[in-house]
Each structure stands twice: as structure tokens, then as C-alpha cells.
Amino acid sequence: MSVALQVSDLRLAIGGVNVVDGIAFSVAPGEVMALVGESGCGKSLTAQALLRLLPRQVRQTGGRILLEGEDITALPERRLRQIRGRRISMIFQEPQAALDPLSPVGAQVREASGLASVAAREAVRRMLAEVGIADPDRRIDQYPFELSGGMCQRVMIASALISRPAVLVADEPTTALDVTIQAQILDLLRRLAAERGTAIVLITHDMGVVADIAERVAVMYAGRIAEIGPTAAVFSRPRHPYTALLLAAIPRLADEPKSRLAVIEGSVPQPSEYGAGCRFVGRCPFADARCNAEPPPLLETDDGHFSACWHTERLA
Amino acid sequence: MNPVLAVDGLVVHFPARHGPPVRAVDGVSFTVAERETLGLVGESGCGKSTVSNAIVGLVQPTGGEVRVAGMPVRGADRRTLREIRAKAQIVFQDPATSLNPRMTVGAAIGEPLLVRGLARGRELRERVAALLTEVGLRPEHASRYPHQFSGGQRQRIVIARALALRPALLLCDEPVSALDVSVRAQILNLLVELQQSHAMACLFVSHDLAVVRHVCDRVAVMYLGHLMELAPRDALYTTPRHPYTRALLAAVPEPDPALQRAKPRVPLKGEIPSPAAPPQGCVFHTRCPMAIAHCREEVPAWRHLGETLVACHRAEETPAP
């Protein structure tokens, strides 16, 4: 099987603390891989590291990022500029903030295409139509403020994909959108991944979005992967207590109304509070002395399903 | 018996510098009875928060009437408004901006009691301690400042302050939307407990249909300033009568891959129109999969269909989800 993106042992530090601590995953062409977790779990920093767009205070202290087999971790900025938008692209949570307010949307998509103007206009028009923008001939000359949030996200997707990158990193692409528009954008991403063979890394906090669109999912907690595997397996047989509790804490349309939801006591630790062992230890019902002392390794529990917990068997 | 909250034909229009006014709320009516929790759901810009703000007099209604415990909010003199605001308390989405960062938590929770002369000194401290305990915090937290707490704890503080005057009506405007999943469950459990222990009426404004189903007894669905449907919880979720309700339910991604992927897709076309230029006839007709010529011409009446109230010409034909 070919691999579009392979991340191994990624470590990112702020100050002296590894806020992303040994993340590893791979994505195949046409596959949607979700990184899911609550605020502070390191999912967005991981996404930024994939395009080497990290904030100044964040340092990469380890790991490799292979894009179609090529290690991009050590590339100079000049080479990275040739890769971003061409071979790996990114879309963001606030499409209206990510677009240039002073430039027509068609021009922004064309800029990403790198094509000369005459051929480009037709290519841009086709791309806008492909991402489901009705009346692309009119929209192409409009400015972002004339478009709704959902339509701006379609424009972002068009400019991210027009150069046919191998990988699309989507950082909370539907979080700022309403549910009916979210459903449209998720359908679009699913279709584009299948039709164009784009590998999608989807960053989200929403388990419903993961269930809808991701083939595989990595559940992150405090900078580490707690559990990773096929979406169906992770949801039906979670092998990490954090995943199990998180899934039980979500109100569902099939639950008994007003019943007590499962609770994860306390709140997510600050990086300054990370100890030597498992980072979930302070909130975990299974925690014991070993969990405090030693970080659990990510081990395979079923086919392609890995969990980082000393007590995985208690969830079987 | 009088309902705790009665909203009758509420209209709120915001004037625009250029062009027609924004019709944020355009004729909304409902009641909330004692001990009852009514959910108000809809997408952004539907007017749900404006309804909540109009109830406590934070925005001036353009028309219609709001009564809290029988007292009309519009035209109320200062004394009556003071009384209304004691009876109706509000909890907002972002607890970080709802608390004064330079005020201790104890002072914030005690302030409503102090300014109304209901408690002071030792009695005030005891009341604050009891409120903190009630929302799952500890009495010694009273001397700390908001920044020393997590988001979920801050929302508990805001809830404690809202409960200080024993309100008859609690308005919750997206109270858990800014919180992470694990913390959201803690606050939802707390709200369900408080509904029971305080026997309050509650208006719960949210965009999240699963959350609303979890805490509410009845649910109202809003779109472009109008109510589309209002029904007892189970009726709304099992037999939605309005095509918009049905589409909203279909669009909620369920955190269950097998269920989610088997779900029939009812994608809504297009986008929400501008509330400054709402469509003629039924405001939903531009996106409705069931719209016919009649829907473009005539505003559907707000009518009973079994135990459901619905505004749709074709409500009888809406297929089950």
C-alpha cells in the first residue's frame, strides 16, 4: 500500500516541555484520517508541523515527516514554499479570516494554482464548480465578504486542491459552520478524497464528525496518542479509558433524556503539570503506581488498533 | 395558572444604516410553565439569542409582549424591572467574559444578594458557601479570582451567581458551547440536577440538538426569526412535522460510525437567506425539499397537529426521519 504522509515520533516543545510527545501516524491516498481531542491536546500544533508553519516559540525536538516518501523536516524554507499548496495544503476553521478580503476569490484560487491567466480562469471556474459553488462565473469575481461562511470554506477547499496536492490538512474545517452547512462540507470532503485520491488529515474535537467521515482516527490527549485505529473499532470497542469515557460523556439522540452522563473528573492538565508517567493519570479510574511512574507504550490490541494504556485488558 | 414565562407575538427588528431593518425575531410566541425546560434551537442568525435577550430587557422589542411571572417587561417601571430581573436570571456561553476578573468569586456570587439588601456579613458568607457547594465547588473557593479556575469551573460560578436570588426562570444561552466534551457533561449533569432541586422554569437556547434533547421537556425550532415547530421532546425527535426540523436532525453527526453512515441524507440546498431580506411566503421555502408554489406565496399558519405546533403547509406529508 502506498503512503501519502507518514509521521513518526513527532516531538514539539514549548519551553522545555514536549507539548506534542511522540505522535506517529500515516495516511494513504484517498483516506481520511482524523486527529481528535479536546483543547490543549496538541492536535492543531501537529497540523501546523505538517506544513512546517509552527509558531516561533514552538521547536521540533524530534521525529520525521515523510511526504510521499520525502523527508520534509529538514528542508529549507525556499523548498518548503514549493511544497506548500502544491503537494500538501491546509484549510482552517475560519475561512473568512483565512481569505484575503481585498482580492476576488477567483484570483485567490488562481494564485494557488500557479497557472498563467488565460488558461487559469477556466481551471478556476471548473474548480469552483467542482467544490459545489453554484454560478461560478459570477462568484469568481466576488470578494470574500459577499460570500457566506460555507461558501468561503468551499473557496478555501478549491484553492487548497487546485494544484492536486497529495495531502490536505483540514483544521476544524466545519467548527464555525452551522450543522446543515457542516453536512454539505463533510459530504464534499468525502467526495473529493475519493475522486481525487487526496489523503485528508482532519483535525477536530467533534466525535460526530469523526464518525461521519474518518476511516481511521487517532484520539489525542495532552500531546500524545491515547488510541489509534479504524474508526468503527475505536468507537465500538475503545481500548483506552479516555476514549471510552469521552464517548460516554456525549449526549446522543438515542439516550435516555436527563440521564446522568459519564463524567471525566477534573480538567485537562496544563503542560507544566505533566508528570513522568501517563498524562491521563490524574483523571483515570484505573490509575495506579505504574501509571504514575512510566508512560504506557502504544501497543496493538486488535488488527491495526493500538492503545497506550497499562490497563487495556480491563476495557476488553 | 400563569406560566412563568409568556412570549406573545415577539418582534425584534434592528435598524440598519443602509437598507431595510434586520428582522431578527419576527412574531414568536411560546410559554414556559413552572418546572418546565423549553429548548430553543436553531442555526446562527435565527434569532434565538435575541429572544433570550428580549426576555430580560437587554434588547427592546419592536412589538409583541413578554411576561415574566405575569409582569409585562415592556413599559415596566424601574421597580418592576428590578423585580423581573430578580426572577429571571441568565447564563451566557462564555464564562470567561461573564465574570469580572478583578472581583473574587465570593463577591461575584454574593453581589446580587448584597445589592438587594437580602444578606450581609456572616449570613452572606454562608449563603455564598452554600451556593458554591450546590454547584460542585468548595466554600474556600470564595476568596479566589476567576482566572484561577478552569472553563468548566467558571461556568459553575456563573450558575451559582444566577441561582443566588432563587430565580423562577433561568435563561441559558448556549451554556456549554464553549466547553470541552468531558467538561460539558459535568455542566449538563449539574443543570439537570438543579432543574429538579430548584423547581425552576428554564429556557435553554442552543444550536446542539443532542444537548437540547438531553435537558429539555419541550423543544421549539427557530429559523430566520420564526418558529417552525414546537413540540414535546419525544414527539419532536421521533416524528418531526416540519421539513426543517427533519433536515436539522438528519444533519447532526451522531458519534456512532455505524449509525451515522446508515443514516439517510437529507441535504439542504443552499444557504440561510439574510434576515434583512427574508423570502416571501414561508421563510424556509428557498431551501425546503418539499416546497410547492403555495409555499412561496403564503405564510403558513401556526397550527396544531396532534400535540405539535407547526408552521408548514405540508406538515402532514413530512416523512419520518
pLDDT for residue B1 = 63
Q: Do B257 and A232 touch (CB under 8 A)?
A: yes
Residues 188-217 of A with CB under 8 A from B: 205-212
Q: What is the mean pLDDT of residues A29-36?
A: 97
* pLDDT, tens digit (0-9, with 9 covering 90-100), for A139-153: 999 999 999 888 999
In this predicted structure, the answer to whether residue A15 has a pLDDT above a threshold of 70 is yes
CB pairs under 8 A between A and B: 135
d(CA B201, CA B88): 9
What does the DSSP 8-state code read for residue B141? G
pLDDT for residue A240 = 97
pLDDT for residue B179 = 87
Q: DSSP characters for B151-186?
A: HHHHHHHHHHHHHTT--SEEEEESTTTTS-HHHHHH
Interface test with B, best of A154, A220, A267 (most B CBs within 10 A): A267
* pLDDT, tens digit (0-9, with 9 covering 90-100), for A166-224: 999 999 999 888 888 899 899 999 999 999 999 999 999 999 999 999 999 999 999 99
pLDDT for residue B2 = 81
Q: Which of B183, B192, B207 sits opposite A258 (nearest CB)?
A: B192
Q: Nearest residue of A to residue B151 by CA position? A: A267
d(CA B38, CA B195): 12
Sheet of strand B63-68: strand arrangement: B22-32, B5-14, B63-68, B71-72
Three-state DSSP class for residue B54 = helix
Three-state DSSP class for residue B142 = helix
SS (H, E, C) B4-51: CEEEEEEEEEECCCCCCCEEEEEEEEEEECCCCEEEEECCCCCCHHHH
d(CA B13, CA A56): 46
Model confidence at A1, pLDDT cuts 50, 70, 90, reads low
Interface pTM (ipTM) of the complex? 0.85
Phi, psi of B91 (to 5 degrees): -120, 125
For residue B247, list chain A residues with Cβ-Cβ distance below 8 A. 180
pLDDT, mean of each 10-residue run, chain B (321 residues): 91 91 95 96 91 90 94 89 91 89 96 93 96 94 94 93 95 90 91 91 94 96 97 96 94 91 82 89 95 96 96 91 72
Q: How far apart are the first and last CA of chain A?
A: 30
d(CA B231, CA B214): 15
Other beta carbons within 10 Å of B27 = 17
Q: Where do the DSSP E strands lie in A74-198?
A: 88-91, 167-171
Q: Which of A183, A249, A259 sits opposite B182 (nearest CB)?
A: A249
In this predicted structure, the answer to whether residue A108 has a pLDDT above a threshold of 60 is yes
For residue A231, list chain B residues with Cβ-Cβ distance below 8 A. 257
d(CA A160, CA A147): 18
For residue A134, list chain B residues with Cβ-Cβ distance below 8 A. 270
Minimal C-alpha gap between A126 and chain B (Å): 19
Minimal C-alpha gap between A234 and chain B (Å): 10
Q: Is B104 at the interface with chain A, CB within 8 A?
A: no
Looking at the domain assignment, is residue B287 inside a domain? yes
Looking at the domain assignment, is residue B239 inside a domain? yes
Q: What is the mean pLDDT of residues A48-76?
A: 94
Residues 6+ away with beta carbon under 8 Å from B252: A179, A208, A253, B209, B210
Q: Which of A134, A208, A258 sits opposite B254 (nearest CB)?
A: A208
Q: Are A38 and A44 in contact (CB under 8 A)?
A: no
Residues 6+ away with beta carbon under 8 Å from B117: none
Host domain of residue B254? 224-321
* Ramachandran assignment for A246, one of left (phi > 0), alpha (psi -120 to 50 degrees), beta (any other): alpha
Q: Is B302 at the interface with chain A, CB within 8 A?
A: no
Half-sphere exposure of A65 (CA within 13 A, CB side): 20
Q: What is the mean pLDDT of residues A58-68?
A: 95
What does the DSSP 8-state code read for residue B279? P
d(CA B47, CA B27): 11
Half-sphere exposure of A20 (CA within 13 A, CB side): 27
- Global pTM reads 0.90
Q: Do A209 and B253 touch (CB under 8 A)?
A: yes
d(CA B4, CA B195): 14
Q: Which amino acid is at B108?
A: A
Q: Are A198 and A16 in contact (CB under 8 A)?
A: no
Which stretches of A162-257 are DSSP H helices?
179-196, 207-213, 231-236, 241-248
Looking at the domain assignment, is residue B42 inside a domain? no
Q: Which range (A84-88, A112-116, B21-25, B288-292) has the least confidence?
A: A112-116
Looking at the domain assignment, is residue B190 inside a domain? no
What does the DSSP 8-state code read for residue A84? B
Q: Nearest residue of A to residue B270 by CA position? A: A181
Q: Is A123 at the interface with chain B, CB within 8 A?
A: no
Number of domains in chain B: 1
Looking at the domain assignment, is residue B311 inside a domain? yes
